Structure 1
Amino acid sequence: MSLPRAETRDAAPRGGVLESRLTGLGREEFARDVWARTALLTRNADDFSDLFSASAVDELVARRGLRTPFLRVAKNGSTLPESSFTSPAGVGATVSDQLDDTALWRAFADGATLVLQALHRTWAPVADLVTALGSELGHPVQANAYVTPPQNRGFDAHYDVHDVFVLQIEGTKRWIVHEPVLSQPLRDQPWTDHRAAVAEAARRNEPELDAELRPGDVLYLPRGWLHSAQAQGEVSIHLTLGIHAWTRYALAEQLTGAALAVLRDDPAARGTLPLGADDLDAEIEVIRTRLLAAVADAEPEPLFQRARRAQARPAPLGPLAQLAALRELGPATPVRLRQAVQARLSGVRLSSRVGWLDFSESELPRVSRLLDGGVHTAGDLGMDLAARLLRAGLLVAADR
């Protein structure tokens, strides 16, 4: 299959995270022309100084008591052992795998790249962006930061098994991008399984994109696209937003699982094979027929939606702020559904990333209104219902 060539464009900021901060494209336009199809470099997409910075790196490394696996260290294509940059942190913090800022400084001064992982769990501005983008795309999102000394690189040419947005924060970095050697790899098909082909393609093929990213630039790469990057004349800091896209294969897995659950209730399918079982052709044909019928009858959506909910987290919830909201709850209190909670109403049951609740028929219209994501008052919802949803962590206080 022929893939479209990588594109470069200037951003024209509009509304929404995808439009205003990353590509200048609306969700529909991005889905039609770019998503999972081709690389896209957007110059001057936005000012990212509110998201991350050099001082944020120092704060996380030196003062937050981070532990592995919240940081990796890489040099010349290899990842350094965790023992080389971790140690106990003294009285009251003797856990042995905390980051050792002195060891990290020495590794960084020697040309190593620092990879701050899962920033959507450790740095609030990044967490907010990831929550908004995940809700907009409908796929789980994670965030890492890569901090590379001048004229150094962390990794050789490789591909990721998830789509990425690269946001250049500080410094400049040269990116060399090639078309895939394996189109749209699954999560269990890493680049190391195709190491020789990746190296050959990076060495011999003409790059689809060879560009220097400057602060404010954004590069989108679909999963499978080969890339390598090297910092230029100063320290480079960039954020990578990894989009762990759900695939048709994942849906097929859920469909198969649902079909097998149907067969568990089929006495004939549970039947014992004949003694010897030397000729299986007839038996295979019987079970193939029953399996196809089970696939036709199976309902994989509940399993699929449950798996989707489990792959990401809802927006952060502060227990003290939530207790204050519950204690101060009044008819005029503005409330809204907690972001990224992935709530779905089916019958009388509301399923979400924080569990499920059943409601009475009289409550359903009010619960349905909440799913629009807008701000409501506790009085409009009913005080008892609002309090119940606050206690469950589904509802939060909102500013109008």
Structure 2
Amino acid sequence: MDPYSFEDFVGDPDVFFAEYFDKQPLLRTGALAGRLDGLPSVRQLDDILALETTPPSYLRVTKGGKGVPSGAYTRTVARGAALAEAVNAEKVYELFRSGGTVTWNSLQHVLPSARRLRDPFAEALACDAEVVLFVTPARTDGFSPHRDSIDVFVVQVDGTKTWRVWATPEHRRGDEGSYTPEELGDPVVEVTLRPGDVLYVPHGTPHAAAANSELSLHLSVGVEPRRWRHLLQDTVTALVEDDAFHGFPHLAEGEDTAAVAALTEKLELLRERLARLDVASEAKRLVAVGRARNGADRTREFARLAAVDTLAPATRVRRGAVPVEIGDSEAGRTALRAGGRQLAVPDAVAGALRALDSGRTVSAAEFFPGVPEARSLSAVRGLARIGVLEAVAGPPAGASPDAVPVADEKRK
């Protein structure tokens, strides 16, 4: 499936950040209509619920607006000589049948489809994001009116759910809390979300939701953009990593003129470093730090390696992403350093790699000049396994239609 973009969820980003972000709710009816097949589904929830190693911390069940103790849906299992708690799927189903809402936290930890949903938000907001799945029985309230400490982007996937959202308070402290309907008055948004609809709820905004005449499954992408205090702490932390701040002072109780003088000196040094800071570069660094997240940028390595084994002689290859240092030749072999590996390859192979520096391609059969086709193909596969070479997108002539090009897999 095509990847999602931030625009798919919020529309024009400039309008979103100017008029809605951190200010008021936004409803996007049909924003993902016809594009839900790649998202986590009820069937996938059954599959991950059946995992023997699912920690109970990922799962939460609520009934009547209150949390169900985890002991009601867990069991003790033996893992070698140790005992551990695991989710009991049958007990979860029983609670769901009796009106419990099942919540699966950090779904991106187990499903690639949830990571694909999270990534556009982490990229646009330069912070990490969490995908939470909510499955609610028909004709059941999910949670009583409450506020969250994070911004939430709701994507309705299955069934329908009626949402009530109240006005976003002007002053918020980023905490959680609950309300009675009498405290809130009339909502500013009351809508029934259908599959493909998207709803944005800023942090601290009171809201509540209830499933209608069928099971409802929705996904919430929760994000907590870094506040100014977090960003400035990050900047100062980076500056004081300098050796000038590595000493161990002794700050005694009471008045200590030496300690005060030393602290004054370090604060003055920090002030000077802040004054000389390249602010534009620091802003780029903070964005990069915010976007860095585990699992987001990893390739499908097993699929890539499987594709390497099926490279054909006619497949065209090019230099891969792994940096290569080509050293000196000795006794017909050239030293090669690639991805932390030290290799010695025939001089002709080193020459072939140099020839590909300009971005040109060559067929696998012709990569290693002057040797039989099978040996050239073997050399290509060996270098492709460690990322020095990669196949050009598109299957070679005569290849099976099911063959997966290495370069395509690497970019997924």
Deviations 1:213-267 (A, max 9, x none): 12221101222222221222322111112234233332111122134435x6169
Deviations 1:132-165 (A, max 9, x none): 5544554433211101123323333333333221
Find the aligned partners of 2:107 and 2:40 in 1 and give their Cα distance: 10
1:260–1:294 contact (8 Å) kept in structure 2: no
Cα separation, partners in 2 of 1:293 and 1:76, compared to 1, 3 Å: farther
Q: For residues 1-400 of structure 1, what are the structure 2 equivalents within 5 Å?
A: 17-20=5-8, 22-23=9-10, 25-45=11-31, 46-47=33-34, 48-62=36-50, 66-88=54-76, 96-135=84-123, 137-181=125-169, 183=171, 185=173, 189-191=174-176, 195=177, 199=179, 203-262=183-242, 265=244, 276-277=254-255, 288-297=267-276, 304=286, 307-308=289-290, 310-315=292-297, 317-326=299-308, 332-333=316-317, 389=387, 397-398=407-408
Cα separation, partners in 2 of 1:213 and 1:83, compared to 1, 3 Å: same
2:320–2:388 contact (8 Å) kept in structure 1: no
1:134–1:141 contact (8 Å) kept in structure 2: yes
Cα separation, partners in 2 of 1:243 and 1:335, compared to 1, 3 Å: farther
Instruction: Give me the TM-score of the superposition, normalised by structure 2.
Output: 0.65
Letter in 2 for 1:99: V
Find the aligned partners of 2:407 and 2:109 in 1 and give their Cα distance: 21
1:175–1:212 contact (8 Å) kept in structure 2: yes
Cα separation, partners in 2 of 1:227 and 1:312, compared to 1, 3 Å: farther
Letter in 1 for 2:408: A
1:98 aligned counterpart, secondary structure: strand
- Highest Rg: 1 or 2? 2
Deviation at 1:305, TM superposition (A): 6.0
Identity %: 23
Letter in 2 for 1:44: G
Deviation at 1:106, TM superposition (A): 1.6
1:174–1:231 contact (8 Å) kept in structure 2: yes
Instruction: Give me the TM-score of the superposition, normalised by structure 1.
Output: 0.67
| Count of residues in correspondence between the two structures | 341
2:217 aligned counterpart, secondary structure: strand
Letter in 2 for 1:224: G
